[in-house]
Structure 1
Amino acid sequence: MPEATPLQLVEAASKAGFDYGGMWVDVESWTAKTTREVRAALRETGLPLLDVEVVWIKPGGLDPDHIRIVDIGIELGARNILCVSSDPDAGATRDKLAALMEHASGSDIRINLEFGMFAEVKTIRQATDILRQIDSPLAALLVDALHWRRSGGTLPDIAAIPPEWISYAQLCDARDPGADPNDPVAILDEAVDDRVALGRGDLPLRPLADMLPPNLPIAVEERSRALRDNFPDLNARAAELLRTSRAWMDGSIA
């Protein structure tokens, strides 16, 4: 729902009947008033936030806006912060993630590193190597089904993740062979426009889900041009997303 306001995101998730919501924080437009309004809406609807995104780590020092996003997540009671890195220096990525975790110490929020071919931390093994160097109970590794598949991830890679690192996961489906892993434009286009409903594509979702801890919260990351075009109304779009996702999770879609 890239066109939705923060309050519309809360409304759509709540009206559809999701167990959790997710929140995109645009630091350019987000104000203290936004935080107050979103917090009030979450309280009124009873909707908890599964995650807040996105902390996009880039070369250079720790970005004050990233500290701000973590603070917003904590104020909103979110369970997770989603981070990706475009810094080619793995050590610098590690240090900035560790600083975010240190800043969030004393809270219950988890700082999740997501990997993908669109970023500099491209694979699950790269992400694992970075997190192993950070000694923090807030460290977490976020698996997105599409990025895991396109970066050559395997089921043994999932099995090797320390269980304490898995705070939630992002599921979607997509058609194989999908984007060329050597074409960054195609990779990004697929990620933001060409995902499909759970069970409607070719990703090995059942085996992947079977490897995840039981009762793990799941974010459905179905960024889809077709979904946006066919359901321009945000509440109808959320309802359709929940319908197809529940059908797959209940086993009525293979």
Structure 2
Amino acid sequence: MTRQFSLAFLTVADLAPAEAIRVAAETGYTSVGLRLLPAAASGEGPYPILTDKAVLADAQAALAETGISVGDVEIVRLKPETRPGDFKPFLECAQALGASKILVAGDDTDHSRLTQTFAAFAELAAGYGLTSDLEFMPWTGVRNAAQALAIVEAAGQPSGGVLADALHWDRTGRDPDDLKRIAHERIHYFQICDAPAEYDPSDAGLIAIARGGRLLPGEGGIDLHSFVRALPDDVPVSVEIASADLMRRLTPRERAVQALAAARHVIETL
């Protein structure tokens, strides 16, 4: 089976959406990830593609020109005060881009309330043809795979999924069984990268690596073979290499090429 690879937003975060789409197509990816809303709760506003019709039109033109698709859009953060209906502009933009998946983060430690919010959001998003994929991250309200799975299952929405990122899996116990417990239909894609074996386990340290200290697959200490083997072999692989070092040294195209080659090598040597 031929793997499908998606160029994650963070690998080429310095590119405008239309440019990222073209680079993804030119370097061998079948899809691209785009960010519509910020990852950090810092008061940062929406990305231009969500508010500027010209940016959206440029992205749509690039998609039509290249023939690739938008895999996932990010990032929906579910907080205690979240009202799912407030995300309708996000969902309309995602639908206009032909996206299929939404990266969702859980910023609520009250899992009963978060489950209700996730269920309502996933139901709403499904009406736009989108899955809602809850990513566990050790500094958020959904710290590990078990918590993400429990919330998604309790929410009871067919379109709900669990998103596994190799980095977060490694930092939360690196047990393949945590991933094997997730039903196939709950995994719509996963994210691959590598990272240093030694790291600062504080929230600040974890966030620093996640947002700018990742490594190309095969260059760090994550057991990527065990990670990939524990996941379905017929879902897209999002290649997410957020690296300040690579961003300084390489062009976006060079980053995309090296990231894809490294990810393919890991999977081809399973």
Q: Which runs of 4+ in 1 moved over 6 A?
A: none
Q: CA RMSD in A?
A: 1.8
Contact 2:225 2:267 (8 Å CA) reproduced: no
Tell me by how many angstroms 1:171 deviates.
Answer: 0.8
Tell me by how many angstroms 1:59 deviates.
Answer: 2.3
TM-score (norm 1): 0.91
Structure 2 gap ranges (5+):
1-11, 38-45
Equivalence for 1:202: 221
Contact 1:21 1:49 (8 Å CA) reproduced: yes
Higher relative contact order (CA 8 A, sep 6+): 2
In structure 2, which of residues 259, 262, 265 is the aligned counterpart of residue 241 of structure 1? 259
What's the secondary structure of 2:95's corresponding residue? helix
Tell me by how many angstroms 1:54 deviates.
Answer: 0.5
Contact 1:142 1:166 (8 Å CA) reproduced: yes
Equivalence for 1:49: 70
Equivalence for 1:11: 22
Tell me by how many angstroms 1:249 deviates.
Answer: 2.7
Tell me by how many angstroms 1:153 deviates.
Answer: 4.3
2:14 partner amino acid:
E
Tell me by how many angstroms 1:189 deviates.
Answer: 0.4
Tell me by how many angstroms 1:130 deviates.
Answer: 0.7
The percent identity for this pair of structures is 29
Tell me by how many angstroms 1:73 deviates.
Answer: 1.7
1:193 partner amino acid:
G
Contact 1:179 1:190 (8 Å CA) reproduced: no
Tell me by how many angstroms 1:198 deviates.
Answer: 0.8
Equivalence for 1:35: 56
Equivalence for 2:96: 75
TM-score (norm 2): 0.86
Aligned length: 249
Equivalence for 2:42: none
Structure 1 gap ranges (5+):
none
Equivalence for 2:122: 101
Contact 1:121 1:127 (8 Å CA) reproduced: yes
What's the secondary structure of 1:164's corresponding residue? helix
In structure 1, which of residues 125, 130, 137 is the aligned counterpart of residue 151 of structure 2? 130
Equivalence for 1:86: 107
Alignment of 1:163-182 (within 5 A): 163-180=184-201
Q: Distance in 2 between matches of 1:112 and 1:78?
A: 13
In structure 2, which of residues 32, 37, 43 is the aligned counterpart of residue 21 of structure 1? 32
Contact 1:140 1:166 (8 Å CA) reproduced: yes
Q: Distance in 2 between matches of 1:79 and 1:165?
A: 14
2:216 partner amino acid:
A
What's the secondary structure of 1:133's corresponding residue? helix
Task: Report Cα offsets for 1:61-82 as digits up to 9, x if no partner.
Answer: 3155533222222221112100
